[in-house]
Amino acid sequence: MPALAFTLFFSCKEKQQKLTKNELSTVKNGENVNIERYDFDAFEPLLHKEDDTLRIVNFWATWCKPCVQELPAFEQVANEFSDKKMKVIFVSLDFPGQVQEQLLPFVNDRNMKNVILLDDSKGNTWIPKVDESWSGAIPATLIYKKGQRDFYESGFDYTSLKEAIADYDL
């Protein structure tokens, strides 16, 4: 059902204001939670960096149970390899109307880092630009460094995520 909701959400032909990039924030428990909001045009360059940093780009949403279940694996790998040139980016596909009530508190409660909101309803256009094989279902993860790219339309646990990055030179 979440994949259907995702497809329906991103198939909507509603006119959307050009976002490029801006920041969402809230204060909770005395701490500032900041999340950058992107449309796909502003986000796309993050998918094509040609440097020596391994990037793990995880597409997820708070309403997606398998997505939430795999988050600790990504956080554990990010912590384990914090001394390496590796960056984990959490790309939230949460509905824009639920950001204040759902996404920001979720990110704050879990003390998540490197979270951005991809707020672009033209999924039929941008999903194949992430990877031609992507149906749009989440969780989904792009792992890349220089000329090497791997895309996974499935969830990870800690062991399978470590295996997926093992072929990359860290």
Residue 22 pLDDT exceeds 70: no
Residues 53-104 pLDDT 10s: 999 999 999 999 999 999 999 999 999 999 999 999 999 999 988 888 899 9
pTM summary value = 0.83
Instruction: Give the model's pLDDT for residue 80.
Output: 95
Instruction: Give the model's pLDDT for residue 31.
Output: 54
Q: Are 7 and 140 in contact (CB under 8 A)?
A: no
| In-domain check, residue 160 | yes
Q: In terms of C-beta density within 10 A (0-12 exposed, 13-18 middle, 19 or more buried), how is residue 70 classed?
A: buried
CATH no. for residue 39?
Answer: 3.40.30.10
Residue with tokens 């204001």: 17
Residue 120 pLDDT exceeds 80: yes
The one-character DSSP state at 133 is T
| In-domain check, residue 40 | yes
| In-domain check, residue 129 | yes
| In-domain check, residue 35 | yes
The boundaries of the domain holding residue 28 are 2-9+21-165
First to last CA, the chain: 37
| In-domain check, residue 151 | yes
pLDDT average, residue stretch 108-120: 91
| In-domain check, residue 59 | yes
